[in-house]
């Protein structure tokens, strides 16, 4: 018998709030966290807007010595991971075998701000001025390593890197570890902090970022809208506690929802562009449905990848139509990237949290700035205003550079 897996804890740090309750209230009230970049002088860049995490002060969470040797993306993971752990009640539970608990996080680029700083010092003052902790602060695995150390988790601690599908894949891999009886509890999700001059500049050179809304930043991320012109960078972390059902029930844990299935595919098409026919995304959707033992007609909501790029949105629409046929027109679909931007490797974690809460509360989050629908995007994208409606089961979809497609299936428990 396949072991069932449920979500018993959640933690988040995002451009629209730090902490689960604040964040979810912001989603339900259509708040937007995208604004002009403040972390550095972006005046000479084509894109000058981003979804920065506001009011974050590392000294509220860590001592100064720890901050000096830890990248921002890793700090985000620890803050969100500790909240998820507390929320699950595991901080009050005598966890008898820490070897049966693991960490699986997604990340796209690691400590990009650390990389920036160290390169400046290398070229300005020479190798001897590179900070000694540069490598430990920069490498992607440090997020999972630090989180496991903070919580005393001694099972596996891994980081998945599949670009913008990383967070979703991490959750899918964690699901499999519990199902295969390699763990009873897993912390899973994604973390990212890539809003640097190098990060924004690099994506600008790819012509991937929005450049036409610098004077109206909250209008810049507009998934499925005819006038979209690129994605907006976001940052943050979304981490959940996954637990084997009987393990959760035996300790009386609250259960948000059941993590029922996972599907992943590769387009095998292009380094940055999705396959135009959406076939890879459609296969991932079907695999997630099959894994969850769900029929297409049982899905009521999809949290779309919805990047607001000219290429992604129509391709993703084709994926949904291919996988769901006529039921595609009965689905509610939204892109919450319109509120927080595209958080890259953290997106799958943050959006799985949104999807689970949507299922729990029977609420369809809005897609902001959807004023003039693209004729190629003709499904119900919940424009501008969220609404109540029954959600029996839902999917969270993440698509990454390199053709990585990841879909998470969540059932009401």
Active site positions, annotated:
164, 305, 342
Q: How far apart are CA 86 and CA 92, in angstroms?
A: 8
Between CA 346 and CA 171 the distance in angstroms is 11
d(CA 140, CA 161): 8
SS3 breakdown of the chain: % helix, strand, coil, rounded to 5? Answer: 40, 20, 40
Total residue length of the chain: 413
Cα separation of 208 and 310, whole Å? 9
- CA–CA gap between residue 197 and residue 41 (Å, rounded): 8
Between helices 347-361 and 166-179, what is the axis angle to 10°?
Answer: 70
Decide the pairing of beta strands 101-106 and 157-160: parallel
Pairing mode, strands 236-244 and 49-50: unpaired
């Amino acid at each position: 018998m396949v072991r069932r897996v449920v979500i018993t804890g959640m933690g988040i740090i995002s451009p629209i709030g730090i902490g689960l309750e604040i964040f979810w209230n912001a989603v339900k009230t259509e708040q937007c966290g995208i604004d002009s970049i403040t972390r550095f002088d972006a005046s000479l860049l084509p894109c000058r807007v981003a979804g920065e995490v506001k009011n974050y002060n590392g000294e509220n969470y860590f001592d100064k010595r720890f901050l000096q040797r830890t990248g921002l993306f890793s700090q985000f993971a620890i803050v969100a991971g500790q909240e998820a752990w507390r929320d699950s009640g595991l901080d009050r539970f005598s966890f008898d075998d820490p070897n049966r608990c693991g960490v699986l996080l997604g990340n796209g680029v690691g400590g990009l701000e650390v990389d920036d700083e160290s390169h400046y010092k290398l070229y300005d003052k020479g190798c001897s001025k590179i900070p000694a902790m540069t490598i430990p602060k920069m490498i992607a695995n440090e997020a999972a390593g630090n989180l496991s150390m903070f919580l005393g988790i001694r099972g596996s601690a891994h980081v998945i890197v599949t670009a913008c599908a990383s967070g979703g894949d991490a959750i899918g891999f964690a699901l499999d570890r519990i199902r295969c009886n390699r763990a009873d509890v897993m912390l899973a999700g994604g973390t990212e902090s890539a809003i640097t001059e190098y990060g924004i500049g690099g994506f600008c050179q790819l012509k991937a970022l929005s450049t036409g809304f610098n004077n109206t930043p909250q209008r810049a991320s507009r998934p499925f809208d005819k006038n979209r012109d690129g994605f907006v960078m976001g940052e943050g972390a979304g981490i959940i506690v996954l637990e084997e059902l009987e393990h959760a029930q035996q300790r009386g844990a609250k259960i948000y929802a059941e993590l029922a299935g996972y599907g992943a595919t590769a387009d095998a098409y292009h380094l940055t562009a999705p396959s135009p026919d959406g076939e890879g995304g459609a296969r991932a959707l079907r695999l997630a449905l099959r894994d969850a033992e769900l029929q297409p007609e049982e899905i009521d909501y999809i949290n779309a990848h919805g990047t607001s790029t000219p290429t992604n949105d129509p391709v993703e629409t084709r994926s949904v139509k291919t996988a769901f046929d006529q039921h595609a027109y009965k689905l509610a679909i939204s892109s919450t990237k319109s509120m927080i931007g595209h958080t890259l490797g953290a997106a799958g974690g943050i959006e799985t949290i949104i999807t689970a809460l949507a299922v729990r509360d029977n609420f369809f989050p809005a897609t902001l700035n959807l004023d003039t629908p693209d004729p190629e995007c003709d499904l119900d994208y919940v424009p501008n205003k969220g609404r109540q409606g029954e959600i029996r089961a839902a999917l969270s979809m993440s698509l990454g550079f390199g053709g990585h497609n990841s879909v998470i299936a969540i059932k009401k428990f």
